[in-house]
Amino acid sequence: MERINNIRHTNIAARLRAQEHWDCIAKPVGSFGRLEDMICRIAAVQNSENICISRRCAVIMCGDHGVTAEGVTQCGSEVTASCAADIASGCANVNAVAAPFSTDVFTVDVGIASDVDCPGIISRKVAYGTRNMTRGPAMTCAETEAALKVGMDIAGQLNNEGYQLLVAGEMGIGNTTSASAIASVLLGIPAEQVTGRGAGLSSDGLMRKINAVKTALDVNRPDRNDPMDILCKVGGLEVAAMTGLFLGAAYYGMIAVVDGVISAAAAACAYLLQPAAAEYMLPSHCSGEPAGKGLLDLIGLDPVIDAGMRLGEGTGGVLLIPLLDGAVSLYNNARKFSDTNIERYSRFV
């Protein structure tokens, strides 16, 4: 926890200099919308108005969930291992999305229910999946802390390798059930309002999922004011590792992009553990899952993509990167008022 307590606020002076740079560009003030603010946030993280995000990656945390025994998913938990191997081999959805944007993809096994024979997987297994949260805590405190440490250590390793931006993604059959439970606790909203169909469920399947969330919350009574208690009782190994990834990114001075609802649940837990960590986060899209917007609102993050996406694997997070690249290009290369005969616009709001 020492690293978490030592997370610092980002550099406000660098953020203001970046804003002044934007205001000098020959265009209406604020006309590039929230992307301008994102560039300023990056400047604050990097302690300089001269920003760089050329080294970027997606980190896909993988783990299984015992709650799948309750019939809350369309497929079996063995799909987690199969998809993780595909990601590590470079042939999964996130790889296809990341390739055009020069984004590396790393696959971390923090809690897959089986051993995956694939050389591309980074093995940091804490346990072989979680327990069924409808019958008791999903993880022990020790397992939760270990998974959190995995995420922080991975962030440190990536920082040492020169990465400036990471996308926090996941792969874990059943993890939208966990995310829904986390959201219900954090947002104080009934399970029915935060639980969606995930990868695809019939109406009967959705009802089983809602009932599983309700049962897990009744059985475990997670403490709304204690994110570690919430993670232990209704979280997942990959969710805890993603929480650590967000905290690690903040500790090591990196940008962390929030993907979909599972990523947002982890980001919310990181924010509650250390509010300053939110200053290092960038939201990508508003998930099609019902809990997505509420979790981002809790953190104070306003996404720039609203396309109803819910694919996971970090795919939505990766799609923020070309938007950021476009904003960086405008920021660095556009003509300034001083280069033209146009009078500089004034900022009134």
Q: Provide the annotated active-site residues.
A: 313
Please state the separation of Cα 224 from the chain's center in Å. Answer: 20
DSSP string computed for 182-235? HHHHHHT--HHHH---TT---HHHHHHHHHHHHHHHHHH---TT-HHHHHHHH-
Sign of the torsion angle spanned by Cα atoms 267, 271, 273, 274: positive
Q: What are phi and psi of 255, to 5 degrees?
A: -80, 135
User: Of 104, 107, 113, 149, which Cα lies nearest the Cα of 131?
Assistant: 113
Q: What are phi and psi of 82, to 5 degrees?
A: -65, -45
What is the rounded distance in angstroms from the CA atom of residue 278 to the CA atom of residue 275? 6
Q: Is 346 exposed, middle or buried (0-12, 13-18, 19+ CB in 10 A)?
A: exposed
Q: At which residue do the structure tokens 């033209």 appear? A: 340
Question: Other C-beta atoms within 10 Å of 27: how many?
Answer: 18
Strand order in the sheet with 165-171: 121-123, 103-111, 56-63, 165-171, 255-258, 281-283
What is the rounded distance in angstroms from the CA atom of residue 151 to the CA atom of residue 237? 10
> Token pair of 45, please?
């993280």
Is residue 47 within 8 Å of residue 41, measured between CB atoms? Answer: no
What is the rounded distance in angstroms from the CA atom of residue 104 to the CA atom of residue 167? 10
Q: What are phi and psi of 232, to 5 degrees?
A: -60, -45
